[in-house]
Amino acid sequence: MSADDWKPSLEKNSEVVKSSGSSEHLEAAPTLTVEEERKLWRRIDLRLMPVLSLMYLLSFLDRANIGESTGNARLQGLETQLDLTGNKFNIALTMYFIVFRPSSSTSSSLTVDQPYCIFECPANLVLKKFRPSRWLPGLTVVWGVIMLLMGFVKTYPQLVGVRICLGVAEAGLFPGVVYYLTLWYPRHMLQWRIGLFFGAASLAGAFGGAIAFGISFMSGTRGLLGWSWIFILEGIATVLVGILAYFVLVDFPTTATFLTPEERTFVIWTKKYDNSSVGEEEHFEMRHIWEALADWQVWVHMFVYMSIITNLYGITLFLPTIITTFGHSAAVSQLLTVPPYVLATIILFIFAHWSDRTKLRFPFIIAGFLCNLVGFSINISNAPSGVKYFGTFFCVTGAYAAVPGVVAWAGNNLAGQYKRGVGMAFQIGIGHFGGAFASNFYRTQDKPRFIVGHGCELMFVGLGLISTAVAALVYTRVNRRRDERARSALEKGEPKLIAEQLRRLGDRAPDFRYVL
């Protein structure tokens, strides 16, 4: 039995579009030819994806460039100038993800005070209220200014403080952009679009090494060392992109003036009835928060995301340092970081394309974790340096190529606009604690093999493989059970749920089928 056999009757009246971007009733979508539909989505892609990709490229470049600047040197004077002795560098990295405070005035230990991750959930809730065309560019400008100011820090406490501010400012971008895309694209067109803008992160890794190498020659200009110029120039670029985005981004399909009324209706209809036979809920209620936090799949997806993001940040923040242990100079090590990121970008796009084409997510996520398994296993071994460098290609590629699928999978299977917004923000926000973990895996005293760091990464590979398998098995079981119940209800002539009941149930509705 198909899902269409379980659809209730539904009266579809004329379209009512609200200023918030939601719609209550829609006329039947206009019929478009395959070529017309292809051109429509291409036009939307060209309007949204370039600026979103550029914003995220700079976001990832800004958060990771502290790794680039110190990797390129530690000979440019950052460690010496800011007195980054011991594990102070690791703590500075950690501050981006989570804020610590001394546990007592007489103790040097640190306790959690306020995680930056908590800003991601409220950021998604206010995105529709403050409009994406203002909220996302506004965040970009703010963190660009903070990035610029990082170039002028003179002490270690100042560096830590600015890193905290950077984490808070950037918290809303990634979950906000992903949630924004779910308001535009149907379920099986989502990963390719997430891949397009997240591919900017892997490009940031490639550009970061090359840019850091080039800017290093500015060391001494106006009395500032090379690491300062990395922060200053990238901060200025981020501010300019944020200003550009304010004039380019559009809010919602319902308010997209670059589309004709017929095209807007088609996009709204396609998305609204993509994962629900009666259209998903669009108004906010407090229950959406509790339903998201009580949903098993949100927690499982959080573990999957935390596992892959730990691997990603571990290799991103410390790849220059790892490569220097292979016997190369810091400058050469920066250049050698570029090829793994280029390969990762290519594989990321291949995974995203085929995942949407096959309408499957978990096989490609598993493939990413297996790549990480190979890469980190090689690097923890006693293999020659050339082989270990070859292994870094697996580390970078597996982590970056799997992330769009991990995020798209959760977005596909959470129904109701606000439940999805809360669930994805929780998945990404809590999952980003993996970045805090990874920031402390690779310690100076563990050179050159970094057994602790690579070992911890392998532990998260195992957690990711288990979590992904659990999600896929449970989804398969639930889909099969709902198919059986639908057949039984049809045979027995049981009354169907009314549209409002199905809409309220969201992804728990009997006609909802999870994406595998």
In a 10 Å sphere around its CB, with 0-12 CB exposed, 13-18 middle and 19+ buried, how is residue 128 labelled?
buried
184, 193, 515, 158: which is closest to 362 by C-alpha? 515
SS (H, E, C) 132-156: HHHHHHHHHHHHHHHHHHHCCCCCH
Which pLDDT value is given to residue 66?
60
Categorise residue 77: left if φ over 0, alpha if ψ from -120 to 50, beta otherwise: left
Statement: residue 125 has pLDDT above 70: no
Out of 62-71, 217-226, 407-416, which region has the weakest mean confidence (pLDDT)? 62-71
Report d(CA 397, CA 201) in Å as an integer.
12
Residue 363: predicted pLDDT: 96
**Cα atoms in the Cβ-side hemisphere of radius 13 Å centred on 236:** 6
Strand, helix or coil at 361? coil
Contact indicator for 328, 322 with CB cutoff of 8 Å? no
440 vs 46: which has the higher pLDDT: 46
Q: From CA 435, how far away is CA 313, in angstroms rounded?
A: 6
Residue 95 — pLDDT band, cuts 50, 70, 90?
A: low
At 440, the amino acid letter reads: N
Is pLDDT of 471 > 80? yes
* Confidence tier at 93 by pLDDT (50, 70, 90): low
pTM of the predicted model as reported, rounded to 2 decimal places: 0.80
Output the pLDDT for position 205: 64
Rounded distance between C-alpha atoms, residue 242 and residue 56, angstroms: 11
At 115 the pLDDT is 40
- Which band of pLDDT confidence, cut at 50, 70 and 90, is reported for residue 169? confident
pLDDT-derived band at 457 (thresholds 50, 70, 90) equals very high
Q: Which residue(s) pair with 23 in the sheet?
A: 17
Q: Per-residue pLDDT for 100 more than 50?
A: no
Residue 98, pLDDT above cutoff 60: no
Predicted pLDDT of residue 88: 65
Contact between residue 96 and residue 435 where contact means Cβ atoms under 8 Å apart: yes
**Intra-chain end-to-end CA distance of the chain, in Å:** 18
Interacting residues of 503 by C-beta distance below 8 A, sequence separation 6+: 276, 278, 279, 280, 281, 509
156 contacts 48 by C-beta, under 8 angstroms:
no
Q: What is the pLDDT of residue 108?
A: 36
Helix axes 417-431, 385-413, angle to 10 degrees: 160
Whole-number Å distance between alpha carbons of 224 and 227: 8
Q: Rounded to whole angstroms, how far apart are CA atoms 258 and 114?
A: 42
Higher pLDDT, 281 or 396: 396
- Specify the pLDDT at position 124: 64
Class of residue 307 by CB neighbours under 10 A (exposed 0-12, middle 13-18, buried 19+): buried
d(CA 280, CA 295): 17
Query: Residue 356 CB: number of other CB atoms within 10 A?
Result: 24
Q: What is the pLDDT of residue 349?
A: 94
**What does the angle CA 110 – CA 115 – CA 119 come to, to the nearest 5 degrees?**
165
Neighbours of 80 (CB within 10 A): 13
Contacts of 54 (CB under 8 A, 6+ apart): 200, 241, 245
Joined together, the tokens standing for residue 107 give 């103790």
Instruction: Return the pLDDT at 30.
Output: 73
| 456 φ/ψ angles, rounded to the nearest 5 degrees | -65, -40
Q: What is the largest CA-CA distance in the chain?
A: 82
pLDDT recorded at residue 109: 37
Task: Report the 10 Å Cβ neighbour count for 114.
Answer: 13
Angle (CA) 311 367 369, round 5°: 25
Return the bridge partners of 115, or none.
98
pLDDT attached to residue 116: 45
CB atoms within 10 A of CB 31: 9
For the four alpha carbons of 169, 172, 175 and 177, in that order, the dihedral sign comes to: negative
Average pLDDT over every residue of 488-497: 77
Rounded to an integer, the average pLDDT of 151-161 is 81
| 195-211 tens-digit pLDDT | 988 887 677 666 666 67
76 SS3 class: coil
Q: Is the pLDDT of residue 481 over 90?
A: yes
Model pLDDT, residue 394: 96
Q: pLDDT tens across 267-309, in order?
A: 888 887 776 655 666 666 778 788 888 899 999 999 999 999 9
- The torsion angles phi and psi of 112, rounded to 5 degrees, stand at -70, 130
pLDDT at 24 over 50: no
Q: What is the rounded average pLDDT for all residues in the chain?
A: 79
Q: Counting Cβ atoms within 10 Å, is residue 302 exposed (0-12), middle (13-18) or buried (19+)?
A: buried
Q: How does residue 90 score in pLDDT terms, banded at 50, 70 and 90? A: low
Residue 153: the pLDDT is 82
What pLDDT score was predicted for residue 87? 64
d(CA 134, CA 181): 16
Give residue-wise pLDDT tens across range 51-85.
Answer: 998 888 888 776 655 654 444 434 345 666 676 66
Shortest CA distance to 160 belongs to which of 82, 108, 219, 230?
Answer: 82
pLDDT higher than 80, residue 310: yes
State mean pLDDT over 347-364: 94
> Could you tell me whether strands 98-102 and 110-115 are parallel, antiparallel, or unpaired per DSSP bridges?
antiparallel
3-state secondary structure (DSSP) of residue 29 = coil
